[in-house]
Structure 1
Amino acid sequence: MLWFIESVPMTTSTSLQLTGFFFAGLLTLPATAGDFTVERVTGGLQRPVAVTHAPGDSTRLFVTDKLGRIKIVRNGGVVNPAFLDHSAYVNESGEGGLLGLAFHPDYTNNGYFYISYTSGSGNGDSLISRFSVSATDPDLADPASEVIIWGPLPQQHVGHKAGDLHFGPDGKLYLAIGDGSVGGDPDNHAQDLTDPRGKILRFDVDLPWPHIPTDNPFVGDATALDEIWSLGLRNPWRFSFDSGTGDMYIGDVGQSTREEINFEAAGSSGGVNFGWRCREGTTCFGSGNCNCSNPALTDPIHEYDHTVGCSITGGLVYRGSAIPGMVGRYIFADFCTWRMWSFAVVGGVATDLREHTADLDPGDGTALRYAVGFGEGADGEVYIVHHYGGELWKIVPDCGTDNYCIANPNSSGAAAAMTSTGSSSVSANDLTLFCTSASATQFGLFFYGPNQVQLPLGDGNLCVTGGIQRLSPPLLTSGGGTASRPLDIAAPPSPSGQITPGSSWNFQFWFRDPGFGNAGYNLSDGLSVTFCP
């Protein structure tokens, strides 16, 4: 057996020792939780579509709505009046509206921010405009400061305008724009290099108009528009840059069979063709004169069919600190089925897909539905926009406790069970561990570790592994078989046992049980605790 306990017969002056806890093939470093839940930050919004923050601003979030307004959210409430009310100039019919917002990287000094929206009548015209913050009030924009950066582009149909807007790690401004159709891209915009639709466009807003970076992939090509960065997209509803690596992720809404996420590694020189309308995901759509086997077409790193969902909402890579187990994972959703997933990208390949749909119900009678956009706060924590509910939500650690693993009966006639009182807050440091229904008036010991297991040990099961931390000294159970110990987070048994916000640890109680069973000792079940800030 790979596990053993060295025990010394108990007297009033001797104590139990647990030594040599290890398990072949398992790491002994603290594990961190990958599970999260969501909490409602605020309501009172009207058809919101995007959320972001200004560089260096940790106190405010900025939420755009389809009608043409930008609202500030501060301290869990919506600030009135709106930061910008451009609704008189926004055509929000169909899939139009105020669709994107990005702050200049040097916003602290120049006060510039950029919006993408549709204006005019009919199906609307797509454009990017720059505005300035008010010279006298940081919570207000100057509505008279508009400068058109790109457009207006007349739209022929009501659909597929996309409109997400972000500054990349290179300081350039990127716009996602859909193929402009209501289905099938009948005009083949996405593959037409003389048309901006169905593309990612790239601008250098610090250069004079037309703001074209000299290193855009089609600069100097008379058969292509200079602003095009990548092509072959249908309706790129939300893209993002990984704030840790600079990689680009693009959620592209499918036609009738596939939803997809496209990936472009940091340092790319652009010109990537993601395949639409020749391919839908990795399937051959085959519309127009195209070769579905063309090696120049780039497949998505992840796709799902319409038995799973029907309209992807592209997300972002988590780079916050509250949920360490989620760091580096791309989180995304499906708008119409209310589902959510995450995966990690390793070497350009999506791996370890996890579903988080159950995490969208925090259990307090509220629930996150219709996730239409993801955004980051200045601290890298993730926020989600609930379109029809008019709400802003936040991903937070799923703090709390759960019992796991099976305990066997002992001389008490029952199986020992772990419980706790207090909270799982690291800052509060008020968690007390309890074990009930253990053997009466016997010595025992609480211990914890990062990993879960269920292996026969003594007359019970070992539930904890991966670098065991012993909470010494041993305790004497009561006449009713109960033991308790406050957990002092500030004084771990060893540095490797340090408990931090967002981490998940597993606790168990070992106790002597002479005269019962064969081994003379037993164990409780396991208690998993995810810790909050």
Structure 2
Amino acid sequence: MSRSKSALRSALVASLIAAVITPIAGSEAATAALPTGFQEQVVFSGLSQPTNIEFAPDGRIFVAEKGGKIKVFDNLADPTPDVFADLSVAVHNQWDRGLLGLALAPNFPTDPSVYVLYTYDAKLGQTAPVYNDVCADANGGACVVSARLSRLTAAGNQMTGTEQPLISDWCQQYPSHSIGDLKFGADGALYVSGGDGASFNVVDYGQLGSPANPCGDPANEGGALRSQDVLTTADPTGLNGSILRLDPNTGAALPTNPLAASADANARRIVAHGLRNPFRMTVRPGTNEIWAGDVGWNTWEEIDRVVTPTTGPTNFGWPCYEGNARQSGYDSADRPLCENLYAGAGQSAPYYTYNHGAKVVAGESCPSGGSSISGLAFAPTTGGSYPAGYAGALFFSDYSRNCIWAMMPGAGGLPDPANIITFDGGASGPADLQMGPGGELYYVSLGSNQIRRIRYYPNNQPPVAAFTATPTSGSSPLAVSFNAGTSSDADPADAGLLKYAWDFTNDGTTDSTAVTANFTYATAGTYTAKLTVTDTAGATNSKTVTITAGNDAPTAFIDTPAATATWAAGDTIAFSGHATDPQQGALPASALSWQVILHHCITPDNCHEHPMNTFTGVAGGSITAPDHEYPSYVEFKLTATDSGGLTSTSSISVQPKTVNLAFTSSPAGLQLTVGSATKTTPFSLTVIQGSTNSVSAPTPQSQGSTSYSFTSWSDAGAQTHVITAPATATTYTATYTGSAPACGDAYGYTCSAGPRTFVPADQTVLTLKGDDAFQQVALPFPMVFYGQTYSSAWIDTNGVLSFTAPNGSSWNHGAIPSAPAANKPNASVYPFWSDLDVDASASVRTQLSGSAPDRQFVVEWRNVRFWDNANARVSFETVLSENGDVAVAWKDIDTLATEQGSASTVGIENAAGTVALQYSLNQPTLRSGNGVLFHPPSGPPPPTGGTLTGKVSASGSGAALPGTRIALSPGTATAVTGADGTYRIDGLAAGTYAVTATAPGGQVATGNAVLTGSGGATLNLGVPLQDSFGYTATPGARSFIRADQTVLSLTGDDYYQQVTLPFPVKFYGTTYTTAWVDTNGVVTFVQPTGSAWNHSAIPSAAASNKANAAIYPFWEDLNIDASASVRTAVTGSAPNRQFVIEWRNAQFFEDTTARASFEVVFSENGDIAVAWADVDGTTFEQGSSATIGIENASGTVALQYSLNQPVIRNGTGVLFHPPA
């Protein structure tokens, strides 16, 4: 079976009613969509809202349940757990609150300590229980609680003694972002995470509630800003939104913590803060690095990395930042703590982010929209049971999307955000990830009340037993029909050949071997029917179901509310119901239980669930309708259980009353913030009547050349305030006053904005196409830009023109100036920097007009599409003038805010990323027929500091190394070498710099440079491109030899073919006469065990889908379709023959519009060369997701020329030369 390249979405089902707990060893979770060879299996089922799993060294498994119970299984085959501890009286289990964190002492059970982290059912200073898990208006902020970290002591499978609280803190006004996770580091420290406890509906800085600010925070320092509390010293520090590093014996800070000298005990504990909801975290194996998943508001999910917990503390910026950008709701509120961060007080960027509106992996079927990162776990670097490519990978999950991904290891073994694969596209409400015995991934399925395992089978996969039984209960004698037609096996060889064995009474006797069967249970009783399925290799899988004869299930009826009922936030909703049973008649209230669930939707058909309340043993009651974003609705579920344990569930959904609120500004076209989002006026929103909504009028704002300051709201509210949605449509208007600001930067550039004639570029259409691609062009005249003269430029599909070689396409726009980084250029003009796509209806074009010395070079992006909105398009241009002027202009802009610039940057920036003139950032002020002229200063330019130049070459050969990253320390200045291996960094202060050059293959050279004043320095570096066997690599210009003699029969996706070599080839000391050619750009001298679709760093051990003794001219996920071929040719005569293998016009799986040609040339003298042709500006084609190099048969030695670096160009190649 070929590997799965897409994921299947499963519906989120948060089943909250406990059933009989059953271990199902090897039972398949049939909805899982996994890579070839992997199966998802249910290990334990019937739990009640499991939240956390921990594996003890002695083989026991501890599972925490949200309501407060901790259960322990003796092993993975234990059918019945013991209740280790029941903390339900102390635990507040409502909404997202509950028992969420669990950890065992590292040397458990020698140290019998079990650590728990939970929401405490009382405010600080009170004693639980106060609410008994029932609070009528929890998300209205009426149920203020706290949280507790405690240590329990194990004696066998039971807790002994009393709970030992270590910390009581974390004031929480709202029922989400409660408490988080527990992990032990390699240093023996106990790490603890907790959320901010703030509102998830409105901007919350402590102004909410009645009475307001029940946590007692200073003004402008409450709510979400509690996550920045360690920055304020006037009041005691709280622990919300932070990660702690503790002595596990006492709960006190360790003496090596970064703030160990503080007089504040809580401040001493904190090693990271500025987090919203770090619900789950993990420790990178062999380190003390903390990797936390921070659940975002409505835009970004984050993976945050605390590299060294003993330095810092690390501030990740929430609520002032979400993802890499300012959080617009809190930015608009102008709170002092955020303004200090915006002024440069310092925060750390996330390691990785993904947008709620985007796929994590392009083309996957995991949904976008609702998002909540819910688990992280590292695969072991050695000794695991998964293929070698997963060694050190970071698995992460999303509860809302029901998916698990693997961030595969890159350079230095760190997870590579550019190399993420969809691992489990059909997970069921993953709430925690954990690596278990054998290095296998386990996850807690809150969606199905199960613990699941993902197991790898390198050879034959077992079948999946599945069947229906109709009916499963009823009066005796009970005739039941069984059908196993949905059983399956992933191996094609087993199709139609599975064998079935039915045991209808679980007595060890096979009662039938047919696919379908009938059986009559003559005697009343409870029976277990079992199906065992066997494949052609003898692998088996079983499934059971309970049959009850002599008893009929009850029927549950919901009397109120009616299906037509509607509600406004704050309304009281009464509910009632009853149940009848054929044997018992009317069931008593004690047989009834209720679940109240809020469905939070991104669109009306894309929802996830928040459990609000549970009620047991009652026929009815009431709740307060939630204050929540729209779309959302409330579901009531009634479950009736008869005396025989049979159940019936009925549910009804009630919809909210809504109202349209309109927002406008005077003048129109400015931006206003409602909740977490900032939009351009006029706009309207549909909200729930009675809901609270924070509104803010950002100030100042620019429109064209005018700056506007906020004056007043039409409802007389403050600049930032909260409105309660009325029952009738209402318009809210923010009034501004304007003034004309100056436009210039520190270098001396000035700008003038206004009407500007758009100059079409109709001379040359570039080959630049697709998403995230760039192309180098020669400039028709030298261009002076920020005092430097340039002769070429790189044009990016994402609306950027850069005078220095980019390090990846610039898809992620941001504020300027900023230091150079991956996917972020400098020395650039940004006419419309956004996430754009040059599709078949778009083009990038150039034109030269005029005559020297008054020539103009026009670069036009025509009709380009927005990546996140296929219906939005825009045209714009950059005009470079020979006198140094730079102009940008726009056309074809309609009324969409995105086309008007609400998600783009416009401006210019110097090469060092230290000076910029930012005309617009995320402001919808761009109009057709307008533009901006950037004019350089007259006279001598102001001093810009020193300049470091140099060239990076391969040691020995002296060949230039393009694409080498240059990094300076101290400081953040970086550069990337151009095609000739040269680099330049401007604007450096005087001093001594340590310079590190990292080649595309990861090889490193270092040196020191000394700069004095505004002078310059030159540092040339030689990078050793040689492996331990003695092979050397020489990159450079290389003729491409077309292989036009033989066309192989090798076609399709993920296939390989054996070929006979025309002469013996000696490779890493071994002589070979045959080779296997793979569609995915690999030639190997040993027979593969599968096609090598998943490229990675080399060297690495051989594994399924990854051979060794290989040459990797362009190892990527490729497809040889009808427009492509793999071909061979022999040239020359002995002893100087060459054997050429050419992949011609191969298609990329990730981007079917991208293609590339490349080849391997074997020479009779032992040389091996690789070369490339037909490469355009697409970063895929330039190698941004490919491995290039050679590797020995044991996977222990390799010479990696490039890994995921866009350094491939037409007419170039690499010669690998063996040792003498």
Encode CA deviations 1:132-188: one digit per residue, 9 max, x unaligned: 112xxx22222x321111115442222211321111111111110101112345221
Pairing 1:94-493 to 2, within 5 Å after superposition: 94-120=95-121, 121=130, 122-134=143-155, 138-142=156-160, 144-183=161-200, 184-186=203-205, 187=222, 188-193=225-230, 194-206=237-249, 209=250, 211-222=252-263, 225-266=267-308, 268-285=310-327, 287=330, 288-289=335-336, 290=338, 291-292=341-342, 294=344, 296-308=346-358, 309=368, 310-319=371-380, 321-324=384-387, 325-343=389-407, 344=409, 346=411, 350-356=416-422, 359-361=424-426, 368-397=427-456, 399=458, 463-464=1077-1078, 466-469=1083-1086
The CA deviation at 1:269 is 2.2
The CA deviation at 1:64 is 0.7
Query: Which has the greater radius of gyration?
Result: 2
Q: 2:49 matched to which residue of 1?
A: 47
- The answer (yes or no) to whether the contact 1:34–1:323 under 8 Å persists in 2 is no
The CA deviation at 1:293 is 6.2
> Structure 2 CA distance, aligned partners of 1:174 and 1:103?
12
Q: Closer, same or farther in 2 for the Cα pair 1:129/1:332, shift >3 Å?
A: same
5+ long unaligned stretches in structure 2: 1-34, 122-129, 131-142, 206-221, 231-236, 359-367, 462-490, 499-536, 539-1052, 1061-1074, 1090-1100, 1108-1128, 1130-1220
- The answer (yes or no) to whether the contact 2:61–2:76 under 8 Å persists in 1 is no
Q: Closer, same or farther in 2 for the Cα pair 1:372/1:34, shift >3 Å?
A: same
The CA deviation at 1:360 is 4.5
> Structure 1 CA distance, aligned partners of 2:39 and 2:93?
32
Encode CA deviations 1:282-310: one digit per residue, 9 max, x unaligned: 01115223233636211111111111341
Encode CA deviations 1:305-361: one digit per residue, 9 max, x unaligned: 11134111131111161103211000111111112212136456733433325x445
Encode CA deviations 1:349-400: one digit per residue, 9 max, x unaligned: 733433325x445xxxxxx311111113254322101102101111211555
SS in 2 for 1:292: helix
- The answer (yes or no) to whether the contact 1:204–1:212 under 8 Å persists in 2 is yes
> Structure 2 CA distance, aligned partners of 1:35 and 1:267?
38
> Structure 1 CA distance, aligned partners of 2:415 and 2:422?
20
AA of the residue aligned to 1:247: E
The CA deviation at 1:275 is 0.9
> Structure 1 CA distance, aligned partners of 2:298 and 2:152?
38
The CA deviation at 1:419 is 8.1
SS in 2 for 1:118: strand
AA of the residue aligned to 2:419: L
Q: 1:478 matched to which residue of 2?
A: none
Of 237-246 and 34-43, deviating more is: 34-43
The CA deviation at 1:61 is 1.6
For normalisation by structure 2, the TM-score amounts to 0.30
- The answer (yes or no) to whether the contact 2:170–2:240 under 8 Å persists in 1 is no
SS in 2 for 1:353: strand
The CA deviation at 1:468 is 3.4
SS in 2 for 1:275: coil
> Structure 2 CA distance, aligned partners of 1:463 and 1:504?
13
- The answer (yes or no) to whether the contact 2:166–2:251 under 8 Å persists in 1 is yes
Q: Closer, same or farther in 2 for the Cα pair 1:210/1:245, shift >3 Å?
A: closer
> Structure 1 CA distance, aligned partners of 2:146 and 2:298?
26
- The answer (yes or no) to whether the contact 2:68–2:86 under 8 Å persists in 1 is yes
> Structure 1 CA distance, aligned partners of 2:37 and 2:320?
38
SS in 1 for 2:244: strand
> Structure 1 CA distance, aligned partners of 2:256 and 2:248?
14
For normalisation by structure 1, the TM-score amounts to 0.66
Q: 2:70 matched to which residue of 1?
A: 70
Higher strand share: 2
The CA deviation at 1:266 is 5.0
> Structure 2 CA distance, aligned partners of 1:119 and 1:235?
17
> Structure 2 CA distance, aligned partners of 1:419 and 1:214?
60
The CA deviation at 1:216 is 1.5
- The answer (yes or no) to whether the contact 1:261–1:301 under 8 Å persists in 2 is yes
> Structure 1 CA distance, aligned partners of 2:100 and 2:78?
22
Query: Which of 40, 45, 56 is the matching residue for 1:38?
Result: 40
> Structure 1 CA distance, aligned partners of 2:37 and 2:345?
38
- The answer (yes or no) to whether the contact 1:252–1:314 under 8 Å persists in 2 is no
5+ long unaligned stretches in structure 1: 1-32, 362-367, 403-417, 424-429, 432-450, 472-486, 488-498, 507-518, 520-533
> Larger RCO: Structure 1 or Structure 2 (Cα < 8 Å, ≥ 6 residues apart)?
1
AA of the residue aligned to 2:157: D
The CA deviation at 1:452 is 5.8
AA of the residue aligned to 2:348: T
SS in 1 for 2:109: helix
Encode CA deviations 1:73-103: one digit per residue, 9 max, x unaligned: 3334453331222222211112211111111
Encode CA deviations 1:463-514: one digit per residue, 9 max, x unaligned: 556543469xxxxxxxxxxxxxxx9xxxxxxxxxxx98x63478xxxxxxxx
- Aligned residues, how many? 393
- The answer (yes or no) to whether the contact 1:235–1:254 under 8 Å persists in 2 is yes
> Structure 2 CA distance, aligned partners of 1:251 and 1:47?
21
AA of the residue aligned to 2:151: R
SS in 2 for 1:356: strand
Q: Percent identity?
A: 27
> Structure 2 CA distance, aligned partners of 1:399 and 1:40?
20
> Structure 1 CA distance, aligned partners of 2:310 and 2:148?
26
SS in 1 for 2:227: helix
Q: Closer, same or farther in 2 for the Cα pair 1:133/1:218, shift >3 Å?
A: same
The CA deviation at 1:72 is 2.1
SS in 1 for 2:192: strand
Q: Closer, same or farther in 2 for the Cα pair 1:170/1:470, shift >3 Å?
A: closer
AA of the residue aligned to 1:197: N
